[in-house]
């Protein structure tokens, strides 16, 4: 008999291959076993990476997706395996990252019976996914997978979960990969002309503005609109500032780039936003970490919001002109109707603000102790600024944003929206599967690394070419900073011990280096870069260092605590 039937498990792999997937991050278990069994047939087409925890698998898929622009795929078993994916899904959802999580489910007859390892994962993840499926009929399997990919990557990207009962995986069915393009209920909100009147209104606002500022967000990267944003900035002589996830969207070295905005943003940038008469928000969503107190946020400015997701318009900050659409397409229509402009006075004022803190910065000081800022600044220099950096969450994340000057898009991967500690190591492993020939640096705190340190084993197993810089300050530093500023320095539960990272590296089978003074930094970096594979470098830094500038949560954006002048520069200042 001619065999044209495939099992559900085989259909899964066939569909993944047709979607262009060549690497899957996952962890097996009972309910997904038929799919892992079928993997033998597809080993030439798909590389499966066995992670050490399902959360790691989701962050790997996420890191892979963020650098490649492709959809990342993670796989897990039912119940506990699926539950471990929730953090990764929420992380991807908040940062609009297209990943697909495939989970096994208990067999259909057992669903609803509290069977062993049963959990309603497709229901549980509703709030943290773009969509979720439970495939109850093998007839729908191929179509569902195809739909899931289309949903994950279209419009504002995001994660999708597909839950597949074990008996659907082992059932047989004729495999026909659906040819027709995916169609979803309703009208695509982007399937219409960009509103002419709004374009005109935006152009008018830009033409009359004297103190305009561009707010550069993650949408620039998702839309691939860096070139257009730079054009807008140069044509209108408009200074710009970026959100954490917009880092690299516009070269840090560009003259009109004021640096990051928000809670730990640059003084010049926040000041300019507050004093502006026009804000042009490009693919950003006025998150509370960038606005500070919305009641006093940039009160004198008109606001233009260019955004793909209509539900973001007027959500946090009311705007005057909304241009809903893909940023690149909108800018391609907007730029030609703009006139060349010059905002010399405004730019000069900003230049003055910019100069204020730079030269007196800690990175220029000759200190006994090592500081996080120095480490990151030196990594930036030693890597010629063209590494891919994956940062974790905390003080080191903010220092990375301030001191690693990204000139290229998609070279910083970080969990911005959810702020998920433990993101960086697995995300970097994921990214390494796309960037075989690029240096990948993980910048991570001693707290964050210990959240997902198990993935060191995965890094070694895959010989992932990643360099892990642990900024060890002996504290959950960012929380300690808040305790120092707002809770009278009562450091409850923020001192945190670490294993001996050099010995630990040895035990895991990778090289470990410890650095305690500044002159050692370039040496360590060179050693690390010359090894093809994972290397861990621990930087032992000043324990009570702070990240400045800082806008306290909920305060006005220009009520900043500035970067203090370092001791060494105090006399010179006087």
Ligand X SMILES: Cc1ncc(C[n+]2csc(CCOP(=O)(O)OP(=O)(O)O)c2C)c(N)n1
Q: Which of 128, 263, 476, 513 binds ligand X (CB under 6 A)?
A: 476
Smallest distance, Å, CB 361 to ligand X? Answer: 18
Question: Could you say whether residue 475 binds ligand X (CB under 6 A)?
Answer: yes
Residue 1's SS3 state is coil
Question: Could you say whether residue 318 binds another protein (CB under 8 A)?
Answer: yes
CA distance 476 to 397: 12
Q: Would you say 91 or 223 has its CB closer to ligand X?
A: 91
Q: Which of 247, 473, 483, 505 binds ligand X (CB under 6 A)?
A: 473
Q: Is residue 521 within 8 Å of 515, Cβ to Cβ?
A: yes
Q: Is residue 239 within 8 Å of 213, Cβ to Cβ?
A: yes
Report the site for ligand X in 370-399 (rule: CB under 6 A). 392-396
CA 186, 71, 81 angle in degrees (round to 5)? 100
| Continuous H helices in 264-394 | 267-275, 288-291, 327-334, 344-358, 372-382
Beta bridge partners of 47: 23
Question: Could you say whether residue 264 binds ligand X (CB under 6 A)?
Answer: no
Nearest to 354 by CA among 264, 272, 277, 233: 272
Contact window for ligand X (CB under 6 A) among 58-66, 377-385, 413-421, 508-516: 413-421
Smallest distance, Å, CB 315 to another protein? Answer: 6
Question: Could you say whether residue 418 binds another protein (CB under 8 A)?
Answer: no
CA distance 483 to 468: 28
Q: Which of 23, 90, 134, 268 binds another protein (CB under 8 A)?
A: 134
Smallest distance, Å, CB 420 to another protein? Answer: 18
Q: Which does 130 bind (CB under 5 to 8 A by kind): ligand X, another protein, none?
A: another protein
Question: Could you say whether residue 295 binds another protein (CB under 8 A)?
Answer: no
Contact window for another protein (CB under 8 A) among 40-48, 166-174, 303-311, 397-405: 303-311
Q: Is residue 478 within 8 Å of 421, Cβ to Cβ?
A: no
Q: Is residue 187 within 8 Å of 22, Cβ to Cβ?
A: no
Q: Which does 20 bind (CB under 5 to 8 A by kind): ligand X, another protein, none?
A: none
Smallest distance, Å, CB 468 to ligand X? Answer: 13
Q: Which does 447 bind (CB under 5 to 8 A by kind): ligand X, another protein, none?
A: ligand X
- The residue assigned the tokens 């090592």 is 370
Q: Would you say 19 or 95 has its CB closer to ligand X?
A: 95
CA distance 431 to 523: 25
Q: Which does 445 bind (CB under 5 to 8 A by kind): another protein, ligand X, none?
A: ligand X
Q: Which of 96, 420, 435, 505 binds ligand X (CB under 6 A)?
A: 420
Q: Which does 421 bind (CB under 5 to 8 A by kind): another protein, ligand X, none?
A: ligand X
Report the site for another protein in 138-197 (rule: CB under 8 A). 150-151, 154-155, 181-189, 191
Contacts 24+ apart (CB under 8 A), 14-19: 14/142, 14/175, 14/177, 15/141, 15/142, 15/145, 15/146, 15/177, 16/46, 16/73, 16/145, 17/42, 17/45, 17/46, 18/177, 19/71, 19/145, 19/146, 19/149
Q: Would you say 54 or 228 has its CB closer to ligand X?
A: 54
Q: Would you say 15 or 471 has its CB closer to ligand X?
A: 471
Q: Which does 182 bind (CB under 5 to 8 A by kind): ligand X, another protein, none?
A: another protein
Smallest distance, Å, CB 325 to another protein? Answer: 14
Site map for ligand X, 90-109, x if CB under 6 A?
--------------------
Count of residues of this chain found to bind another protein when the rule CB under 8 A is applied: 28
User: What SS3 string covers 79-114?
Assistant: CHHHHCCHHHHHHHHHCCCCEEEEEEECCHHHCCCC
Residue 75's Cβ-side half-sphere holds a number of Cα atoms within 13 Å equal to: 27
Smallest distance, Å, CB 480 to ligand X? Answer: 7
CA distance 325 to 135: 32
Residue 44's SS3 state is coil
Sequential DSSP letters for 199-260: HHHHHHHHHH-SSEEEEE-HHHHHHT-HHHHHHHHHHHT--EEE-GGGTTSS-TTSTTEEEE
Q: Would you say 7 or 473 has its CB closer to ligand X?
A: 473
Q: Would you say 52 or 396 has its CB closer to ligand X?
A: 396
Report the site for another protein in 93-122 (rule: CB under 8 A). 122
Cα Rg of the chain, angstroms: 25
Contact window for ligand X (CB under 6 A) among 13-21, 94-102, 126-134, 446-454: 446-454
Smallest distance, Å, CB 363 to ligand X? Answer: 16
Q: Would you say 108 or 235 has its CB closer to another protein?
A: 108
Question: Could you say whether residue 126 binds another protein (CB under 8 A)?
Answer: yes
**Both structure tokens of 497:** 């011990």
Q: Would you say 294 or 341 has its CB closer to another protein?
A: 294
Q: Which does 564 bind (CB under 5 to 8 A by kind): ligand X, another protein, none?
A: none
Beta bridge partners of 471: 445, 539
Q: Is residue 74 within 8 Å of 54, Cβ to Cβ?
A: yes
Q: Would you say 58 or 395 has its CB closer to ligand X?
A: 395
Report the site for ligand X in 479-538 (rule: CB under 6 A). 479
Question: Could you say whether residue 477 binds ligand X (CB under 6 A)?
Answer: yes
Contact window for ligand X (CB under 6 A) among 16-24, 108-116, 202-210, 472-480: 472-480
Q: Is residue 74 within 8 Å of 101, Cβ to Cβ?
A: yes
Nearest to 187 by CA among 286, 93, 310, 290: 310
Q: Which residues bind ligand X (CB under 6 A)?
A: 392-396, 419-421, 445-448, 471, 473, 475-479
What does the binding site for another protein look like in residue numbers (CB under 8 A)? Answer: 122-123, 126-127, 130-131, 134, 150-151, 154-155, 181-189, 191, 309-311, 313-315, 318
């Amino acid at each position: 008999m001619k065999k044209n039937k495939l099992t559900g498990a085989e259909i899964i792999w066939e569909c993944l291959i047709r979607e262009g997937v060549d690497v899957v991050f996952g962890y097996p278990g009972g309910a997904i076993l038929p799919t892992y069994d079928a993997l033998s047939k597809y080993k030439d087409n798909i590389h499966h990476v066995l992670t050490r925890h399902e959360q790691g698998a989701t962050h790997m898929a996420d890191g892979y997706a963020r650098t490649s622009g492709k959809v990342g795929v993670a796989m897990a078993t039912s119940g506990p395996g699926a539950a471990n994916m929730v953090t990764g899904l929420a992380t991807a959802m908040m940062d609009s990252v297209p990943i697909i999580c495939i989970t096994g489910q208990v067999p259909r007859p057992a669903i609803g019976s509290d069977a062993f390892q049963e959990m309603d994962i497709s229901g549980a993840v509703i709030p943290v996914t773009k969509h979720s499926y439970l495939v109850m009929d093998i007839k729908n399997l191929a179509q569902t997978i195809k739909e899931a990919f289309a949903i994950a990557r279209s419009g504002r990207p995001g994660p999708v979960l597909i839950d597949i009962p074990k008996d659907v995986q082992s059932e047989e069915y004729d495999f026909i990969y659906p040819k027709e393009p995916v169609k979803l209920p309703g009208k695509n909100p982007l399937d219409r002309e960009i509103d002419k009147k709004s374009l005109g209104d935006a152009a008018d606002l830009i033409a009359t503005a004297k103190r305009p500022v561009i707010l550069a967000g993650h949408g620039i990267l998702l839309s691939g609109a860096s070139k257009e944003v730079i054009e807008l900035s140069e044509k209108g002589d408009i200074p710009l500032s970026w959100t954490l996830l917009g880092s690299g969207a516009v070269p840090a070295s560009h003259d009109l780039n004021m640096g990051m905005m928000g809670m730990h943003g640059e003084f010049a940038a926040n000041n300019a936003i507050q004093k502006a008469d026009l804000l042009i928000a490009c693919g950003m969503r006025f998150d509370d970490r960038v606005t500070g107190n919305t009641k006093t946020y940039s009160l004198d400015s008109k606001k233009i919001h260019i955004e793909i997701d209509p539900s973001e318009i007027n959500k946090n900050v009311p705007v005057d002109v909304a241009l809903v659409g893909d940023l690149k397409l909108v800018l391609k229509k907007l730029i030609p109707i703009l006139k060349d402009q010059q905002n010399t006075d405004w730019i000069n004022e900003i230049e003055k603000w910019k100069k204020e803190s730079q030269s007196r910065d800690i990175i220029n000081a000759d200190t006994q102790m090592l500081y996080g800022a120095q480490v990151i600044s030196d990594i930036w220099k030693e890597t010629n600024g063209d590494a891919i950096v994956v940062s974790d969450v905390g003080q080191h994340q903010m220092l990375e944003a301030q001191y690693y000057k990204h000139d290229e898009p998609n070279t910083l991967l970080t969990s911005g929206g959810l702020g998920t500690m433990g993101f960086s190591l697995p995300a970097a492993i994921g990214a390494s599967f796309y960037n075989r020939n690029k240096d990948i640096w993980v910048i991570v705190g001693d707290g964050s690394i210990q959240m997902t340190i198990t993935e060191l084993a995965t890094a070694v197993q895959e010989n992932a070419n990643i360099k892990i810089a642990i900024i060890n300050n002996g504290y959950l530093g960012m929380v300690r900073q808040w305790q120092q500023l707002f809770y009278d320095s009562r450091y409850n539960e923020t001192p945190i011990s670490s294993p001996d990272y050099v010995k630990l590296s040895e035990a895991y089978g990778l090289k470990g280096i410890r650095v305690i003074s500044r002159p050692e930094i370039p040496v360590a970096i060179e050693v690390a870069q010359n090894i093809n594979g994972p290397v861990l470098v621990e930087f032992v830094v000043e324990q009570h260092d702070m990240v400045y500038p800082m806008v306290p949560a909920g305060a006005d954006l220009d009520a900043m605590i500035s970067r203090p002048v370092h001791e060494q520069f105090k006399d010179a200042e006087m």
